[in-house]
């Protein structure tokens, strides 16, 4: 594995997100499912930003605690 395998994409810092690995991905233009094994890969490496709406809807976090005006 390369030394920079866990480095974020250009213009991003490590605290802005992380990589996930999936055996398939959906092409944004055509909607076609692309399997990594058809391209000689085990998985696709996909950058996921931590500030995504899914992260903000985390049920383990108390929304009242983040809006404390004190």
3-state SS class at 55: helix
If we measure between CA atoms, which residue out of 44, 41, 43, 47 comes closest to residue 9?
A: 47
- Residue 35 belongs to some domain of the structure: yes
- Residue 43 belongs to some domain of the structure: yes
- Residue 31 belongs to some domain of the structure: yes
Q: How confident is the model over 3-41, as pLDDT tens digits? A: 566 676 666 666 778 889 999 999 999 999 999 999 999
3-state SS class at 41: coil
Tell me how far apart the terminal alpha carbons of the chain are, to the nearest angstrom: 48
**8/17 Cα distance (integer angstroms):** 8
pLDDT for residue 11: 61
pTM over 0.85: no
CB count, 10 Å around CB of 27? 9
**Number of folded domains that form the chain:** 1
Domain of residue 28, residue span? 23-51
């Amino acid at each position: 594995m390369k030394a920079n395998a866990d480095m974020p994409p250009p213009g991003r810092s490590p605290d802005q997100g992380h990589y996930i690995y999936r055996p398939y991905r959906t092409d944004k233009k055509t909607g076609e499912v692309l399997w990594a094994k058809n391209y000689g890969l085990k998985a696709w490496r996909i950058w996921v930003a931590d500030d995504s709406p899914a992260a903000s809807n985390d049920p383990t976090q108390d929304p009242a605690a983040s809006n404390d005006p004190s």
